[in-house]
Amino acid sequence: MWKKIKEFISKLNKNNRFIILTFIACFIFGLYLNSYSANIKQQEVPQEVSYVEFLEMVDEGKVKAVALDLKKPVFSFQDNEDKYYYTQNPKTADFKEFLLKKGISVTEVESTSQNALVTEILNSIRFILFFAFGIWLFKRTIPAQRNEEITDNIPNVTFDDIAGCKELKKDMQFIINYLKNPKEYTEMGARMPRGIVFYGPPGTGKTLTVKAIAGTAGVPFFSVSGSDFVEMFVGLGAKRVRDLYNKARKKAPCIVFIDEIDAVGTERGTTNNSERDQTINALLNELDGFNGTEGIVTIAATNRIEDLDHALIRPGRFDKHIAVPLPEREDRLAILKVHAKNKKFDASVKLEDIAAMTVGFSGAALEALLNEAAFIAVNEKKKCIDMNDIDTAFWRIIMKGDKKESHSRDKNELRIAAYHEAGHALATKLLTDEEVPKVTIIASTSGAGGVTFRTPKETSLVSKKYLRKLIQIMYAGRVGEFLLLKNEDEITTGASNDIQQATNLIKQYITTYGMSEKFGMINLNEFAKGTGVLSVASNENILDEASKLSKSLYDETVNLLKANEDILIEIAEELLKKETLNNSEIDEIIKKRRTKEGNEEKQVS
């Protein structure tokens, strides 16, 4: 037990260790005072004896000392064994003389007990100690912790250290030029944006990009997180904002970076958090105080720009919004080259192939992929990373788990999984020109029974027709199960994740993209904001429209796969044999079946 306590204390930083040890010392001292006070109180309540018994003890020479107060009806005395007693006070004029002649020590005391006075003093000392310590602890842990020195070092990261992001680097060049030569802009009458918001998915490198701007410009970099402003005590978050900008003004030109600003900058009035509202107001006041010549550039980052308070992102505040998207194929290749520099690869590993298969990966996810592959290679006692290690790492990241042995699975479950994944793969091939780099029925420890990987087109614009096809591809797994089992009552829960994705897409199709025939080009989300909430009837109408669209697309998918059921069966049976198929193998199955069907048609004719 003592060893664990020592280990815990050793892991604390210097300030926290001092606070805890001081508290323990005060606690122990308080226990000592309490014990000492208890002893005194015990002495204040001696044993009662009769006056006759007292006289007998005097005659027997057992009384050692008497504490006499002539004004009180009783007095206390002490025997030879230091035990305390009290008895009736005779209040006679010669009582003290009588005691002295018997050789008993007599002490005259005041009406107020000395021991009681000492007890009161000790109690007061104990209260003052703990009260003072409580104030000191509050001041040290709350304001001091929130006002720790914010580092303003110049980052050693520049744009040369960031792979890809050519357009973003180009967009950011004006900030660097301004920080290096602000006079050129002020002489022209140009005002620097008071605030800039970087938004995009997690892991796309928003923080790294801001550091690179400061590093390239060679200016101080103040970095805080939005959660640093969220305090339990009203006013501390706003004070921290003011302190931050006071320090920034002394170091201008500089960059103030607020990461995860959505932690404090969400729409005001949606909650009863007055502390957060005060913090936003303080930040707005600081931004309004800039005239564009101070040389302070405030950059914020968020994954949810739509949740930010409108007053925060309006013109004159955080008025420039820059998207930091997921990297495209060329950017992914450049990022992979950076993270591959310190790793050993087998000749089978082609970074171009990895870039092609990692659609939707952020820069952070690409780094994690190569790092995971390196771990796998070391654990397998290999001298370098090969493509099998990359594939296993890719599996772990996508499936969020390890592969499970197929022999431990029920044969019926395997067959259902094969037809489910065959449905996804075949629908992808029939409805789009996308590749299916891998389809497998190897289960994952995360619970997935298989997976079909697609390589979607990298485009920011998606057509109505393509969205409908995507929903059909999601439904194709359930359809594959149905065509195997021939009974709606026998279908399984394996399509739950597909249904969730399809539902989200249908919701966007109707409420956001304005593609519903019934509602037309109305963003129902904005409509709800403007009117408070949608009525129950409106919600029911949306659900009804979504249900109709879902059923229509499901029926289309059933008809599509029924018309190509022989191909579906062959893909599923090959999966049962090999567990995994790649794009070329799937294409070969489709080509072979269509050639065979064409020959049969010629023979019939």
DSSP for 300-342, please give it.
EEES-GGGB-HHHHSTTSS-EEEE-PPP-HHHHHHHHHHHTTT
Structure tokens of 462? Answer: 């998606």
Nearest residue to 451 (alpha-carbon basis) of 398, 402, 517? 398
pTM of structure: 0.61
Structure token pair of residue 11: 């892991």
Best-predicted range by mean pLDDT (100-104, 358-362, 432-436, 470-474): 470-474
| pLDDT score, position 603 | 57
* CATH code of the domain containing 72: 3.30.720.210
pLDDT at 316: 75
Residue (of 193, 252, 245) closest to 217 by Cα position: 252
Indicate if 18 and 90 belong to the same structural domain. no
Average pLDDT on 117-126 reads 61
Domain stop point among 349, 369, 399: 399
**Whole-number pLDDT of residue 232:** 47
Q: What CA–CA distance (Å, rounded) separates 84 from 86?
A: 7
Please tell me the predicted confidence (pLDDT) of residue 481: 95
Count of residues for the chain? Answer: 605
Residue 475 CA to residue 180 CA, distance in Å, equals: 55
Question: 537 falls in which pLDDT band (50, 70, 90)?
Answer: very low
pLDDT tens sequence across 509-521:
998 888 988 888 8
Residue 567 confidence (pLDDT): 95
Residue (of 440, 400, 437) closest to 420 by Cα position: 440
Q: Which of 123-132, 523-532, 547-556: highest mean pLDDT?
A: 547-556
Residue type, 359: V
Q: Is 153 a member of any domain?
A: no
Residue 564 and residue 545 in contact, taking contact as beta carbons nearer than 8 Å = no
Rg (CA), the chain: 40
CATH code: domain of residue 359: 1.10.8.60
Residues 379 and 471 occupy one common structural domain: no
Residues 75 and 163 in one domain: no
Q: Tokens 């995360």 identify what position?
A: 446
Q: How far apart are CA 110 and CA 523, in angstroms?
A: 88
- Residue 493 structure tokens: 């829960």
421 in the same domain as 288 = no
8 A C-beta contact, residue 263 and residue 226: yes
| CATH code of the domain containing 183 | 3.40.50.300
Q: Give residue 148's pLDDT.
A: 45
Asked whether residue 238 is assigned to any structural domain, the reply reads: yes
Q: Which residue has the higher pLDDT, 21 or 343?
A: 343
According to DSSP, the residues that pair with 67 across neighbouring strands are 76, 107
- Mark whether 452 and 539 lie in a shared domain: yes
Amino acid letter, 229 = F
Task: State how far the Cα of 122 lies from the Cα of 116, in Å rounded to an integer.
Answer: 10
SS3 of 297, please?
strand
Question: Are 337 and 163 contacting, i.e. CB atoms less than 8 angstroms apart?
Answer: yes
Buried b (16+ CB within 10 A) or exposed e, 339-365: bbeeeebeeebebeebbebbbebbbeb
Instruction: Verify that 333 and 278 share a domain, yes or no.
Output: no
Q: Are residues 207 and 94 in the same domain?
A: no
Same domain, 282 and 319: yes
253 upstream amide cis, omega within 30 of 0:
yes
pLDDT, tens digit (0-9, with 9 covering 90-100), for 133-155 = 666 655 555 544 444 445 567 88
Q: Which of 226-235, 291-300, 342-351, 475-484 is predicted with the least confidence, judged by mean pLDDT?
A: 226-235
Do the beta carbons of residue 108 and residue 68 sit within 8 Å? yes
Whether residue 151 is contained in a domain is answered as no
Candidates 30, 81, 75, 40; CA nearest to 54 is 75
Identify the CA nearest to 333 among candidates 453, 200, 163, 168: 163
Cα 590 from Cα 429, distance rounded (Å): 9
Helix (H) or strand (E) holding 68: strand 63-68
pLDDT of residue 146: 45
Q: Is residue 181 part of a domain?
A: yes
Q: What does the pLDDT read at residue 348?
A: 86
Is 421 catalytic? The answer is yes
More confident residue, 376 or 289: 376
The answer to whether the CB of 297 falls within 8 A of the CB of 178 is yes
User: What pLDDT is recorded for position 595?
Assistant: 78
Please check whether residue 358 lies inside any domain of the structure.
yes
Last residue of a domain, one of 358, 381, 399: 399
Residues 419, 484: contact at Cβ < 8 Å?
A: yes
Q: Which of 421, 435, 481, 574 is catalytic?
A: 421
Which two three-digit tokens encode residue 138? Answer: 């509050």
Asked if the structure places residue 542 within a domain, the reply is yes
Tell me the two tokens of residue 206. Answer: 């928003």
φ, ψ of residue 290 in degrees (nearest 5): -80, 140
Contact status, residue 198 vs residue 299, Cβ threshold 8 Å: yes
Report if residue 149 sits inside a domain.
no
pLDDT, averaged across the chain? 79
Order the strands of the 74-79 sheet from edge to edge.
47-48, 84-88, 74-79, 63-68, 105-108
With pLDDT > 90 as the criterion, what percentage of the chain qualifies?
21
**DSSP, residue by residue, 354-409:** HHHH-TT--HHHHHHHHHHHHHHHHHTT-SSB-HHHHHHHHHHHHHTS-B--GGGS
Q: Which two tokens stand for residue 285?
A: 């006041």
Q: Are residues 592 and 450 in the same domain?
A: yes
**CA nearest to 300, candidates 193, 226, 215:** 226
User: What are the helix (H) ranges across 147-269?
Assistant: 166-180, 182-187, 206-217, 236-251
Average pLDDT of span 470-474? 96
pLDDT in tens, 7-61: 555 555 455 555 566 666 666 665 555 555 555 444 555 788 888 888 888 888 8
Q: For residue range 69-120, what is the model confidence (pLDDT) as tens digits?
A: 777 888 888 888 888 888 888 878 788 888 888 888 888 776 544 555 555 5
Tokens representing 381 are 């006692």
Signed CA dihedral, 117, 123, 127, 129: sign only: positive
What's the pLDDT score for residue 144?
A: 43
Which of 109, 127, 151 is a domain's end point?
A: 109
Amino acid at the residue 192: M
Domain count, the chain: 5
Please answer whether residues 436 and 452 qualify as being in contact, where contact means their C-beta atoms are separated by less than 8 angstroms.
yes
In a domain? residue 531: yes
Decide: helix, strand or coil at residue 108: strand
pLDDT at 272: 55
Amino acid letter, residue 145: Q
Cα separation values, 328 from 158, 192, 583, Å: 21, 30, 21
Number of other CB atoms surrounding residue 474 within 10 Å? 25
* More confidently predicted of 294 and 524: 524
- What CATH number is associated with residue 496? 1.20.58.760
* Pairwise CA distance, residues 222 & 229, whole Å: 14
Residues 426 and 389 in one domain: no
For residues 443 and 508, membership in a common domain is answered with: yes
Instruction: Supply φ then ψ for residue 358, to 5 degrees.
Output: -105, 40
Q: Which domain holds residue 71?
A: 46-109
| 3 state SS of 110 | coil
Q: Which residues contact 37 (CB under 8 A, 6 or more apart)?
A: 119, 122, 123
Same domain, 13 and 130: yes
